[in-house]
Amino acid sequence: MLDSKIPEGPLENKWSNYKGHVKLVNPANKRKLEIIVVGTGLAGASAAASLGELGYRVKAFCFQDSPRRAHSIAAQGGINAAKNYQNDGDSVFRLFYDTIKGGDYRSRESNTHRLAEVSVNIIDQCVAQGVPFAREYSGLLNNRSFGGVQVKRTFYAAGQTGQQLLIGAYQALERQVALGNVTMYTRHEMLDVVIIDGKARGIICRNLVTGELERHFGHSVLLCTGGYGNVFYLSTNAMGCNVTAAWKAHKKGAFFANPCFTQIHPTCIPVTGDHQSKLTLMSESLRNDGRIWVPKKQNDTRKANDIPEEERDYYLERRYPAYGNLVPRDVASRAAKERCDAGYGVGTTKQAVYLDFRYNLINKYGRAEASKHGIENPDMETLVRLGKEVVKEEYGNLFDMYEKITGENPYEVPMRIYPAVHYTMGGLWVDYELMTSVKGLYALGECNFSDHGANRLGASALMQGLADGYFVIPYTIGNYLADEISVKPIPTTHEAFEAAENAVRERISSLMNIKGNQSVESFHKRLGKIMWNKCGMSRNAKNLNEAIQEIRSLKKEFWNEVRIPGDINEMNPELDKASRVADFIELGELICIDALERAESCGGHFREESQTEEGEALRHDDQFLHVAAWEYNGEHNWKLNKEELEFELAKPTQRNYK
């Protein structure tokens, strides 16, 4: 059933064996083959550019006005690679192991190992393209440490790593556009896949400027359409991030894997009110120097700086003395929620904790600078002044962003932070070649499920997107297309295109004809509330069952009550949004079903019924050492397929951070 096509041989030789034996397409035949790439973030832009360079005829699509604006642009912290430039003992094996362990042993070893292998090529490629990574005075590349691992392997460009990587990939893509190898369609949204004789052969999309539907043929179709975190309404994702492309593929036969594996990031700027449209991340790197605390007294209304040291509860340092403030994301998030739920939260909404830089500003940086400057017995004022300078250099842009949003100066008062939805490990099921369960349909980047298990480590999503696009798909797609060279382009008048376009047209007109009384936004907010309250940081069977019922009735209400202004044949952002929210509602149901089925805690998925005496996540490897790949069988009806996970090198153990 589920054939993951893992190559033979020992783990560390699989990828080179595969590459040595894979079928090839000769250059003349590549010219005859057309590939559709949906999405041009890091995964899609790198894939489209590389495939264009190889000589394939590529058509690429995105919904923004330019590929340079994909959500990847917002990534802050950095990208991992096993370069071992620091001579601190890093290796492909270590990066592989950290990633598998960070994912709480719920990812496929062979894919994760390949990711670690190609990570080194990514950095080289990006440097050659002119990505201005941070450098040392020697002129060589600099690294920072990230997310609890014990080596420094994260490459970065200030707090704008995603921006710089995406611009590199975007420029490579635009070069292929100029050379005529790639045709770029911006402000286009894919609304269905076309399948002919069991193989993906094209897409239907809507031109978002004119509202017209278009048909496009391809010998194969790549989805690189990002994550679905916005199913929670509020998240750190960009406003336009959506599940639509993946969901349409799912309904046409692509299995959806581990949808309940969603990542909640502990340090984000908290919600201020009902008007809130999105949440802003404050990079994980801040936890290197920021200490997290709440008052020891419940409902304490004093200002942070008026609360004396002995009345502060540094709860992470208290609960996890070994890792302190640097516990993994899932652990830090749950601990913050626990304190707030118990009545110790701060700020007007009481849904926040403090992230305080003062201690390290004075004691770590202030004192070090004073000693560098030869100042003996420095007074407090001098320490603060000197410390501030260093903190500014390290985190200046984040502090500025915080101040713009909140109006508070984090050099003076602690930041208020709270966990927020950030990333989705789940996604379309893919085999080793990144092919979904539909032949010729591939999924790359955040929209597939493959490499991060139940929890993603910091700085590894950028790595995965670029690995998939630059270094994996150019090889694996040939293995499929080699057998397609005799297939002539299928005219888009084919009945399958006709039928798919008609179905899309009908769905759009039924949406427009509801003419109800409630806005799209109001439904999205309600869905988000259900998801956050009942399928968020901590989950239990009762809540999940309720959520499933609530989402089903929300779906009914949506299809009876939603109001979409404007017309079909024009630019209509409300219609775009309605179509996405309708898909989110269906996905929400599947997420809850998956969360209910997985009656264990692992990584970001915390089931209250499955915890240790100290309240830590408890895995059940005897029952859940598998990928849950859901097959769509009609409304409210899914079949569970399991891909058993086999570990050749890694040894699943219970994580411990005490």
Ligand X SMILES: Cc1cc2nc3c(=O)[nH]c(=O)nc-3n(C[C@H](O)[C@H](O)[C@H](O)COP(=O)(O)OP(=O)(O)OC[C@H]3O[C@@H](n4cnc5c(N)ncnc54)[C@H](O)[C@@H]3O)c2cc1C
Q: What's the min distance (Å) between Cβ of 559 and ligand X?
A: 20
DSSP letter (8 states) at residue 602: B
DSSP letter (8 states) at residue 7: P
> Is residue 27 near another protein by the rule CB under 8 A?
no
Of the candidate spans 237-245, 438-446, 456-464, 639-647, the one that interacts with another protein by CB under 8 A turns out to be: 237-245
The 3-class secondary structure across 377-442, one letter per residue, is CCCHHHHHHHHHHHHHHHHHHHHHHHHHHHCCCCCCCCEEEEEEEEEECCEECCCCCCECCCECEE
Distance CA(607)–CA(535), nearest Å, equals 10
With CB under 8 A as the contact rule, the residue among 13, 16, 17, 272 that binds another protein is 272
> Is residue 61 near ligand X by the rule CB under 6 A?
yes
Q: Give the number of C-alpha atoms closer than 13 A to the C-alpha of residue 168, restricted to the C-beta side.
A: 27
Nearest to 469, CA basis, from 40, 32, 46, 71: 46
> Is residue 263 near another protein by the rule CB under 8 A?
no
> Is residue 183 near another protein by the rule CB under 8 A?
no
- Quick one: tokens of 189? 């949204």
Which of 49, 254 has the CB closer to another protein?
Answer: 49
Task: Report whether 439 contacts 221 (CB < 8 A).
Answer: no
Residue type, 494: H
- What is the total count of residues that contact ligand X (CB under 6 A)? 46
Which of 231, 461 has the CB closer to ligand X?
Answer: 461
Distance CA(418)–CA(148), nearest Å, equals 20
Q: What's the min distance (Å) between Cβ of 127 and ligand X?
A: 17
Strand 415-424 to 262-268 pairing: antiparallel
List C-alpha distances in Å: 277 to 189, 233, 237, 347, 532: 22, 8, 11, 19, 15
Distance CA(71)–CA(65), nearest Å, equals 13
Of the candidate spans 119-127, 217-225, 257-265, 453-461, the one that interacts with another protein by CB under 8 A turns out to be: 119-127
With CB under 8 A as the contact rule, the residue among 10, 20, 27, 273 that binds another protein is 273
> Is residue 421 near ligand X by the rule CB under 6 A?
no
> Alpha helix locations (H) across 282-379?
315-319, 329-341, 358-360, 367-372
> Is residue 262 near ligand X by the rule CB under 6 A?
no
Which of 163, 476 has the CB closer to another protein?
Answer: 163
> Is residue 69 near another protein by the rule CB under 8 A?
yes
Binding mask 399-438 for another protein (x = CB under 8 A): --x--xxxxx------------------------------
Task: Please report, as residue ranges, which positions from 125 to 144 form the binding site for another protein (by CB under 8 A).
Answer: 125-130, 132-141
Task: Report whether 410 contacts 397 (CB < 8 A).
Answer: no
Task: Please report, as residue ranges, which positions from 156 to 215 form the binding site for ligand X (by CB under 6 A).
Answer: 161-162, 188-190
Q: Which does 148 bind (CB under 5 to 8 A by kind): another protein, ligand X, none?
A: none
Binding mask 547-576 for another protein (x = CB under 8 A): ----------------x-xx---xx-xx--
Distance CA(412)–CA(52), nearest Å, equals 52
> Is residue 504 near ligand X by the rule CB under 6 A?
no
Q: In sequence order, what are the residues at sequence separation of 6 or more whose Cβ sits closer than 8 angstroms to the Cβ of residue 238? A: 71, 74, 278
Binding mask 68-87 for ligand X (x = CB under 6 A): --xxx-xxxxxx--------
Q: Which does 137 bind (CB under 5 to 8 A by kind): ligand X, another protein, none?
A: another protein
Give exposure, 61-77, as e/b (b: 16+ Cβ within 10 Å): bbbbeebbbbbbbbbbb
- Decide: residue 644, CB within 10 A, 0-12 exposed, 13-18 middle, 19+ buried: exposed
Q: Which does 422 bind (CB under 5 to 8 A by kind): another protein, ligand X, none?
A: ligand X
Q: What's the min distance (Å) between Cβ of 179 and another protein?
A: 9
Which of 62, 294 has the CB closer to ligand X?
Answer: 62
> Is residue 103 near ligand X by the rule CB under 6 A?
no
Distance CA(468)–CA(460), nearest Å, equals 12
> Is residue 332 near another protein by the rule CB under 8 A?
no
> Is residue 263 near ligand X by the rule CB under 6 A?
no
> Given 3-state DSSP classes, what are the helix, strand and coil percentages for the chain, each rounded to the nearest 5?
45, 15, 40
Binding mask 132-161 for ligand X (x = CB under 6 A): -----------------------------x
With CB under 6 A as the contact rule, the residue among 237, 325, 333, 538 that binds ligand X is 237
Q: Which does 483 bind (CB under 5 to 8 A by kind): ligand X, another protein, none?
A: none
Which of 445, 478 has the CB closer to ligand X?
Answer: 445
> Is residue 40 near ligand X by the rule CB under 6 A?
yes
Neighbour order of strands in the sheet with 638-644: 427-428, 256-257, 626-632, 638-644
Residue 319, Cβ neighbours under 10 Å: how many?
18
Q: Which residues bind ligand X (CB under 6 A)?
A: 38-44, 61-64, 70-72, 74-79, 161-162, 188-190, 224-227, 236-237, 241-242, 244-245, 281, 422-423, 445-447, 459-462, 465
